[in-house]
Structure 1
Amino acid sequence: MKYDLWQRLFTRFLETFHLKRFFERHRSFKEMHQSSYAKEIGQTLSQQLKVHAQMETGELLEKLHTEQDGLTEAQAYLQQQTCGLNEVAQEKPLTWWQHLWYCYRNPFNVLLSLLALVAFLTDDLTGGMIITVMVLLSTLLRYWQESKSNKAAEALKAMVTNTAMVLRQKVSTQDQILFKQRYGVEVKQLKSTQFEMPIQYLVPGDIILLSAGDMIPADCRILTAKDLFVSQAAMTGESMPVEKFAIPNTSDIDSPLELDNLLFMGTNIVSGTARAVVISTGIQTYFGALAHRVTATDHAVTSFQLGVNKVSWLLIRFMLVMAPVVLLINGFTKGDWGEAVLFALSVAVGLTPEMLPMIVTSTLAKGAVFLSRKKVIVKRLDAIQNFGAMDVLCTDKTGTLTQDKIFLSHHVDVLGKKSHAVLMQAFLNSYYQTGLKNLLDVAVLEAVDQDMKFEKLRFKKLDEVPFDFERRRMSVVVRTPQCQVRMVTKGAVEEILKVCTRVELQGEIKALTADLRRDIEAITQNYNREGLRVVAVAYGDFNTVQENFSVADENDLILIGYLTFLDPPKESARPAIQQLHAHGVSVKVLTGDNEFVTQKICYEIGIAHDKVLLGGEIENLSDEQLKDAVEQHTIFAKLSPIHKERIVDQLKANGHVVGFLGDGINDAAAIRSADIGISVDSAVDIAKESADLILLEKSLMVLENGVLEGRRTFANMLKYIKMTASSNFGNVFSVLVASAFIPFLPMLPIHLLVQNLLYDVSQIAIPFDHVDEEQLEKPQRWQPSEVGRFMVVFGPISSIFDILTFCLMWFVFHANTPEHQTLFQSGWFVVGLLTQTMVVHMIRTKKIPFIQSCAATPLLVMTVVICAIGIFLPMGPFANYFKLEALSWTYFLYLPFILFAYMCLTQWVKRMYIRRYGWQ
């Protein structure tokens, strides 16, 4: 209601001064410009991409000055000089002067600059210099802090680089040395013509190799492809992957994204393999051009920024109301409207939370440095506060709750008897596949002996059908020593059974009957209940000779047996889960694995395991039904990527702040959808790109540290906001009372400015302050209404003692005439500054300050220093410069009693407040 009222008043203000039409024209011009720019980009790129898609391979390679085996290092370097780095527009940092201007251009600094200008024009050089110093300090401190944190963030992000597999004409040792000298990075050479390099150094004409899990690093034309499926959801919004080919199957396409022999930067390979030539990089790509246009528009406001903005505008609206009231009261009562305007402007400056951006940045940067020591790379600083607000963590199972190392425990036939034939067929499948080898494949390859490794030489690979998340199986086709064509398939038991019609038992082939199927399901479920993962192995022999095999050939297969894998839980998993639960974070497991294995693992690490929701059941639930289901279940098994994303979305719709930890292709959508996406440095490219945080150590203990640091960060930001709000309200209330009853200004503009400058400097140490353990127990969220209530309750406390000081100076020290106003102003200056500085310690904790909870040393030191400066200014040699006057020694007899009484009353009100409203 209050927000709507302010919005209507602001709109009326714009209409009154004919500003609304200007803003509307500006917005419509901006939208028109962006629309025409988008149209121009669309037409130009569409034409270029269609030309590249329709060219013959030889013609295209000739145009790009490359060959089938890639560029030479010299050619690539020349291309680099022409095309620049393969980076999109938003990755370019601001120049130093742009950053400095960004740090200055806020309403508070503009207001201070206007005040300084007025002071210089009225020959108030001292006041003008002080205000100028205040502006410079505010701007330079923020610039220095943000520059330092940005450099730290860039250095941390540089630790995690996305790479591409590149073909170059034979690279010599000298070429590798030159590459490092030019770009400052080393390349990882895999073969004589094949090496891995950071994607930013790709150039048009480079030949790259792609496989499942890779993010496509540039716009490319496919040269060869095998069962290639690409997710273009980032570009088109389509949830299902599309198949791509070297030879286009479509014509008369309007949209370049529908061209099926082109790959686009920012999309990712779901399954299959390809070799492609880079046709454009950086902002010349379709994604880069769109990103360049997006930089001209405003970034979406995050929930963290929204919370900060709400609190800031609460204080600013308060200033916009109270400053005119101060102006009118002083103007009418004193008759000097010029002085009243200056005083009102000074009050407005004193009320503005000009240090809020710097305090926020400092606390977030400190959090980022802390997490970096815990092996966490913070890609987005705002994510730290979201970490502290998180109350639900969704995580995958393998490698997070369990060890990254999976062991092959059994290789058995259909009836559960040990079988070397099953291991041999599984070995051929794992060895010859060229897609993304998972931990199961690695376990199989490590389990075989030397004899079996030599046996594979008798087989020749002919083809393969790569794994995808819909089939959950993969096949390789080999020629056996008997010259027979055989397809060997392994995958999830239920998926393998779908394509099997027979089984092999003790060398005999038998039909897969219903009874036998039930026996198979019982055997595999028994393994699952023991916490073992089961993979089925099948094969099929072909009499006909064919060059290409596809999913359609995976039928009428013969089930030969199973592999069982042991993935034991990490030793740190159970204590980490207990710590997260103790801090108010519930953990939910989202996995594509079966429910029995997942339940066994969850039982061992202390996660509720009695209720399981399967992906097939989720398919039949509406969004409303799923909203209830996600609250009741902690285990979600047999999920597809779409299921994971739906669960995260429904948890968010229920009001939770959701984190998601994953590392696979199938986790990317959920990571992007979560409030805080978390991945690991060993994750696939698309998962790392989607994440806000990247863990260099895949451990839940690291997450628990991050949650606590996020809450510390939030608590320290809230301290400054509470102190600013309550102090500002108290000061204005005191000014109103004094202005109404005292025949002179209770404090000069320069006094208000110096007081505000000193007070703000004392707050620089807040990011390094301690936080009580009680404040770390529960998730913390922004509550602007709580800040408003806190301001109204605690602000008037300081006004009580301000008024007491007025009476002291008026009646005891007889500073009650315009001739003695300097003495009056000096007395209030000292009390005002000391109470404002002391209140930091009173409201930084719900406990008794200095006794039950003591501030960190930096904050204590800053408090003592600022209080000493506040007393020194009127008593020292600079008093005349600041229009202050030395106070008598009897004043300092009263001062401790005023401060002590202020602290006692604040503590008493705090206890009453906590009893009724609690303490955030």
Structure 2
Amino acid sequence: MIKIYARQLFTRFYRHLPRRLFQRDLMLDGLKTNARRGVPAALARICLECAQASVPALYMRFASRPQGLDEAEAAAARRRYGLNNVAAEQPLTWRRHLWACYRNPFNILLTVLGIVSYGTDDTIAAVVIALMVMIATLLNFIQEARSNRAADALKAMVSNTATVLRAGRPDGGVYHEIAMDQLVPGDIVKLAAGDMIPADLRLLQARDLFIGQAALTGEALPVEKKAGALNDRPTNPLECGNLCFMGTNVISGTALAMVIGTGDRTWFGQLAEQSTSQCAPPNAFQLGISRVSWLLIRFMLVMTPVVLLVNGFTKGDWWEAALFSLSVAVGLTPEMLPMIVTSSLAKGAVQLSRQKVIVKRLDAIQNFGAMDILCTDKTGTLTQDKIVLASHIDAFGHRSERVLENAWLNSHHQTGLKNLLDKAVQEKMADDAAGPALARWRKIDEIPFDFERRRMSVIVADGGGQAHLICKGALEEMLGVCSRVRHGDQIVPLSAGLLAQIGEVTAGLSLQGLRVVAVAARPVAADRGDFSRLDESDLILEGYIAFLDPPKESAAPALEALAKHGIQVKILTGDNERVAAKVCRDVGLSVNRMLTGDEIEGMDDRQLGLIARVTTVFAKLTPLQKARIVSALRRDGHVVGFMGDGINDAPALRAADIGISVDSAVDIAKEAADIILLEKSLMVLEEGVIEGRRTFVNMMKYIRMTASSNFGNVFSVLVASAFLPFLPMLPLHLLVQNLIYDISQIAIPFDKVDEEQLRRPQGWRSGELGRFMVFFGPISSIFDILTFGLMWWVFKANTQEQQGLFQTGWFVVGVLSQTLIVHMLRTRKIPFLQSRPSWALGVTTLAVMMATIGMTFTPVAGFLHLQALPGGYWPWLVAILAGYMALVQSMKGWYVRRYGWQ
């Protein structure tokens, strides 16, 4: 039970680094199980009342109007209801933050040891331990406060917004964008495909609105929502067709809605309180930190009793042995680890922001550096984020203005999310041609796009009462609903021979690297007011529009740079395989194998995992297939990043170890991502990866140095305790030595990193840490034993009366060797010559060494039970330290050849 509780304590502590970087989608898994229970009855009653109320009654209830609230009314409502943030997103007060910084396993352990010291009248030891805890807590508090402020500033650069209607504005009350946290009950918001639902809403108008609310209900398919009061009396608000809830997102369609609940007064907010009180499964970063911490704690739990027994049996004074082993336990506690981790991550986040990379979750930085596979779409990353309509032809390859006009009518009148293809069509249609077409046709209805059908339709009518359904979409899906084809002025049945001819025409376009979209139409009854996807049948194939997606000039060098840094790039796209392969060839990406969505459907997860290893291009994918591929690669042991910016990318962004999006992405993609790029470029991504690795390497420096140094000290203590008639060092000496060593580590997060350590992915390897500790720790013990011999035989410190001289001699060697090992183990190269530390680390090291030496000549020495060392000691000290550094350097070369150097 103790071990289980301790693991929970570790997980809770490291999950909040820093605590302000809360991300909504991290709670979503826990929300589904609580969605139908646990929400206060009062909130459910309010939702049901709003669902059944008429629109005038809603306006009266929230003191609103069709033109929306004015600025003064919104400000008053904001003072009454507060910001639109759930409880978990609220900043901690400084008192709670300080308590949270103290409440970590290492500080709690030190506090217990300090209380024991005080209870045994060892006041000096208790004071030193309290000082260590205070320094560690305050440093962590200061670093987290800085990182929180930096994180808030960074997140504000990419914060999601809502489209709201404000009354009484000089511009006449038009829609404009405001931050989601500024919404208040009574606000009128506009929704479109790709938007996050910013609060709990009651629909006022809706057009083909489909909501993805799997996060709350577990329903895999989107749910259609419609406006209008409910006539029946539902019992579950989640089943009300005219309500939308915070945390869900718009898949397709448009709507106008009124805010009925914000912040903690939303369904999401109430469930969040319950979900955040439970421990979410730790991610790779948290698991790595936990494994390393447990390795150090297990080492302490094993070695401390051994020190107690050896000293007790050899000295006969069990009380003194207990105090000494207590000090050893304090010395083995890596109390600076939380501060080092926080400082490293915060520094990495600020540095990444200068490179146009915004970090939403700090622990994602380590995953950034550990990433070895990057999955991405090609549009906007390998290709320019601008598409040009290259041709508009009929089914037989002849230029056709009719096809262009039909495509333009479809793109212009659709109200969903307009993508780059729609923009290219609208730009191609000249103004002198668009004007008459717009005057001739009026819109009746539309059938929005979804990723299952991969097409969308609009229904338009002319002044003469003729109505047409105009559909455009992916070629194969379009051919499945076409039964006829336009050949000149004739309509002919779509035969097998014509299908073969169509295939030749479209294949030729694809081989040129053009994206092909089919356009079809058919007459419909003009007096119908509501159309559905069932009406997309018996269509007449009009022709195709083909788009040129030119590659970026920076794509090829960026791919080459990623490959040099050990990152394999895989393309996951909804386009066909021919277009994807052509783009890959243009940017120099070698295609080992291609796989289509239809082939993936016939595979189980094991088969997909095996084939995904060797596949470069995955084409014609659905959103869930993208997520399946990412999950399969993760199960294969890879650290997978996914880069996407569309609605269809959200499942894969959540499935990846690190989700990467851009500031121009749809809301749901930005919400699901861990990293936001301010520039959609693989070159920017490569710079972020390098900074992630630099951050991780600096964290590992502290862990390696602490582990190996602690192991060597304990080994030396055991040897000395077995043969000396007195303690090799007083408990107070061990505590002060550990305090000085901790101070020397403060600058590690700001240290330089060797170029070689940035070339390969970096990940947690607790087994390698244990080997490193056992290998390098005893090296220091060799020179400790030489110091014992020096003090015993050369300086005759071999009696009880001379133990102070012995202990002072080893104290100085111990502090200086532990300080120098920072520079020896921070690099695989020759320190100071081939690899220079940062100025901060250099200054800190020099200050600590001078303070330690000066300590023996000042009145502080008497307080610490130290004494002045003879002049003959100092040449021996230089020789011991030089020999120690030379041996460590030579052993590093052997270790690197045998095991490598992460």
TM-score between the two structures when normalised by the length of structure 2: 0.93
Q: Counterpart of 1:16?
A: none
- Is 1:525 aligned to 2:507, yes or no? yes
- When residues 678 and 424 of structure 1 are mapped into structure 2, their CA distance, relative to the original with a 3 A threshold, is same
- Is 1:588 aligned to 2:586, yes or no? no
AA of the residue aligned to 1:750? L
> 1:804 aligned to 762, 769, 786, which one?
786
Question: In 2, are the aligned partners of 1:250 and 1:259 still within 8 Å (CA)?
Answer: no
AA of the residue aligned to 2:60? E
SS at match of 1:545: coil
Aligned residues: 877
> 1:171 aligned to 169, 172, 183, which one?
169
Say which is worse superposed, 862-871 or 349-358, in terms of deviation. 862-871
Question: In 2, are the aligned partners of 1:248 and 1:261 still within 8 Å (CA)?
Answer: yes
Q: Distance in 1 between matches of 2:502 and 2:794?
A: 98
AA of the residue aligned to 1:738? A
SS at match of 1:463: strand
- Is 1:819 aligned to 2:801, yes or no? yes
Task: Please report how far the alpha carbon of residue 416 of structure 1 lies from its aligned counterpart in structure 2 after TM superposition.
Answer: 1.7
- Is 1:611 aligned to 2:609, yes or no? no
Q: Distance in 1 between matches of 2:848 and 2:728?
A: 22
Task: Please report how far the alpha carbon of residue 37 of structure 1 lies from its aligned counterpart in structure 2 after TM superposition.
Answer: 12
Q: Distance in 2 between matches of 1:8 and 1:203?
A: 43
Q: Counterpart of 2:184?
A: 203
Q: Counterpart of 1:746?
A: 728
SS at match of 1:683: coil
1:265-414 alignment runs, 5 A limit: 265-414=246-395
Say which is worse superposed, 83-92 or 735-744, in terms of deviation. 735-744
Say which is worse superposed, 711-720 or 771-780, in terms of deviation. 771-780
- When residues 49 and 434 of structure 1 are mapped into structure 2, their CA distance, relative to the original with a 3 A threshold, is same
Q: Distance in 2 between matches of 1:864 and 1:595?
A: 61
Task: Please report how far the alpha carbon of residue 169 of structure 1 lies from its aligned counterpart in structure 2 after TM superposition.
Answer: 2.7
Q: CA offsets per residue over residues 620-640 of structure 1, 9 Å max, x none?
A: 111121111211211011100
- When residues 290 and 9 of structure 1 are mapped into structure 2, their CA distance, relative to the original with a 3 A threshold, is closer
Question: In 1, are the aligned partners of 2:34 and 2:271 still within 8 Å (CA)?
Answer: no
Say which is worse superposed, 221-230 or 679-688, in terms of deviation. 221-230
Task: Please report how far the alpha carbon of residue 252 of structure 1 lies from its aligned counterpart in structure 2 after TM superposition.
Answer: 6.6
AA of the residue aligned to 1:783? R
Question: In 1, are the aligned partners of 2:514 and 2:579 still within 8 Å (CA)?
Answer: yes
Task: Please report how far the alpha carbon of residue 118 of structure 1 lies from its aligned counterpart in structure 2 after TM superposition.
Answer: 6.2
AA of the residue aligned to 2:843? V
Q: Distance in 1 between matches of 2:645 and 2:239?
A: 29
AA of the residue aligned to 2:795? F
Q: CA offsets per residue over residues 451-472 of structure 1, 9 Å max, x none?
A: 1132122322222222111222
Q: Counterpart of 1:136?
A: 134
Task: Please report how far the alpha carbon of residue 348 of structure 1 lies from its aligned counterpart in structure 2 after TM superposition.
Answer: 0.9
Q: Which runs of 5+ in 2 are unaligned?
A: 8-31
Question: How large is the RMSD of aligned CA atoms in angstroms?
Answer: 2.4
AA of the residue aligned to 1:601? V
- When residues 201 and 140 of structure 1 are mapped into structure 2, their CA distance, relative to the original with a 3 A threshold, is same
- Is 1:154 aligned to 2:152, yes or no? yes
1:19-58 alignment runs, 5 A limit: 39-41=37-39, 43-58=41-56
Q: CA offsets per residue over residues 507-533 of structure 1, 9 Å max, x none?
A: 333332222222122111111110111
AA of the residue aligned to 1:220? L
Q: Counterpart of 1:31?
A: none
Q: CA offsets per residue over residues 208-260 of structure 1, 9 Å max, x none?
A: 21111111111112222221111112112222111122247895755432222
AA of the residue aligned to 1:883? H
Q: Distance in 2 between matches of 1:576 and 1:366?
A: 25
- When residues 451 and 294 of structure 1 are mapped into structure 2, their CA distance, relative to the original with a 3 A threshold, is same
- When residues 851 and 169 of structure 1 are mapped into structure 2, their CA distance, relative to the original with a 3 A threshold, is closer
AA of the residue aligned to 1:714? F
Q: Distance in 2 between matches of 1:625 and 1:233?
A: 27
- When residues 332 and 250 of structure 1 are mapped into structure 2, their CA distance, relative to the original with a 3 A threshold, is farther
Question: In 2, are the aligned partners of 1:108 and 1:349 still within 8 Å (CA)?
Answer: no
Task: Please report how far the alpha carbon of residue 123 of structure 1 lies from its aligned counterpart in structure 2 after TM superposition.
Answer: 7.2
Say which is worse superposed, 720-729 or 850-859, in terms of deviation. 850-859
Say which is worse superposed, 640-649 or 700-709, in terms of deviation. 700-709
Q: Counterpart of 1:84?
A: 82
- When residues 8 and 244 of structure 1 are mapped into structure 2, their CA distance, relative to the original with a 3 A threshold, is closer
> 2:103 aligned to 94, 100, 105, which one?
105
SS at match of 1:875: coil
- When residues 331 and 555 of structure 1 are mapped into structure 2, their CA distance, relative to the original with a 3 A threshold, is same
- Is 1:736 aligned to 2:718, yes or no? yes
1:6-25 alignment runs, 5 A limit: none
- When residues 249 and 507 of structure 1 are mapped into structure 2, their CA distance, relative to the original with a 3 A threshold, is farther
- When residues 40 and 621 of structure 1 are mapped into structure 2, their CA distance, relative to the original with a 3 A threshold, is closer
1:900-919 alignment runs, 5 A limit: 900-919=882-901
- Is 1:555 aligned to 2:537, yes or no? yes
Q: CA offsets per residue over residues 647-676 of structure 1, 9 Å max, x none?
A: 111111111111000000000010001000
Task: Please report how far the alpha carbon of residue 129 of structure 1 lies from its aligned counterpart in structure 2 after TM superposition.
Answer: 4.4
Question: In 2, are the aligned partners of 1:412 and 1:563 still within 8 Å (CA)?
Answer: yes
Q: CA offsets per residue over residues 66-90 of structure 1, 9 Å max, x none?
A: 2333233333222222211111111
SS at match of 1:564: strand
Q: Counterpart of 1:432?
A: 413
Say which is worse superposed, 462-471 or 874-883, in terms of deviation. 874-883
AA of the residue aligned to 1:286? W
Question: In 2, are the aligned partners of 1:170 and 1:193 still within 8 Å (CA)?
Answer: no
Question: In 1, are the aligned partners of 2:52 and 2:231 still within 8 Å (CA)?
Answer: no
Question: In 1, are the aligned partners of 2:197 and 2:249 still within 8 Å (CA)?
Answer: yes
Q: Distance in 2 between matches of 1:726 and 1:165?
A: 56
Q: CA offsets per residue over residues 522-570 of structure 1, 9 Å max, x none?
A: 1111111101111122222234421222222222222222111111111
Q: Counterpart of 1:859?
A: 841
Q: Counterpart of 2:487?
A: 505
Q: Counterpart of 1:759?
A: 741
- Is 1:627 aligned to 2:609, yes or no? yes
Q: Distance in 2 between matches of 1:489 and 1:144?
A: 59
Q: Which runs of 5+ in 1 are unaligned?
A: 12-33, 173-188
Q: Distance in 1 between matches of 2:897 and 2:380?
A: 45
Q: Counterpart of 2:633?
A: 651
- When residues 902 and 638 of structure 1 are mapped into structure 2, their CA distance, relative to the original with a 3 A threshold, is same
Q: Distance in 1 between matches of 2:6 and 2:64?
A: 61
- When residues 334 and 279 of structure 1 are mapped into structure 2, their CA distance, relative to the original with a 3 A threshold, is same
Q: CA offsets per residue over residues 588-634 of structure 1, 9 Å max, x none?
A: 10011111111100111122235211111111111121111211211
AA of the residue aligned to 2:417? L
Q: Distance in 2 between matches of 1:855 and 1:875?
A: 29
Q: Distance in 1 between matches of 2:46 and 2:189?
A: 21
Q: Distance in 2 between matches of 1:405 and 1:469?
A: 22
- Is 1:896 aligned to 2:884, yes or no? no
Say which is worse superposed, 719-728 or 250-259, in terms of deviation. 250-259
Q: CA offsets per residue over residues 87-137 of structure 1, 9 Å max, x none?
A: 111111211111111112234334444555566677766555444332222
- When residues 251 and 614 of structure 1 are mapped into structure 2, their CA distance, relative to the original with a 3 A threshold, is farther
Q: Distance in 2 between matches of 1:733 and 1:138?
A: 26
Q: Counterpart of 1:837?
A: 819
Q: Counterpart of 1:686?
A: 668
SS at match of 1:41: coil
- When residues 886 and 211 of structure 1 are mapped into structure 2, their CA distance, relative to the original with a 3 A threshold, is same
SS at match of 1:563: strand
SS at match of 1:274: strand
Question: In 1, are the aligned partners of 2:653 and 2:672 still within 8 Å (CA)?
Answer: yes
Task: Please report how far the alpha carbon of residue 324 of structure 1 lies from its aligned counterpart in structure 2 after TM superposition.
Answer: 2.3
Q: Distance in 2 between matches of 1:215 and 1:404?
A: 23
- When residues 647 and 121 of structure 1 are mapped into structure 2, their CA distance, relative to the original with a 3 A threshold, is closer
SS at match of 2:871: coil
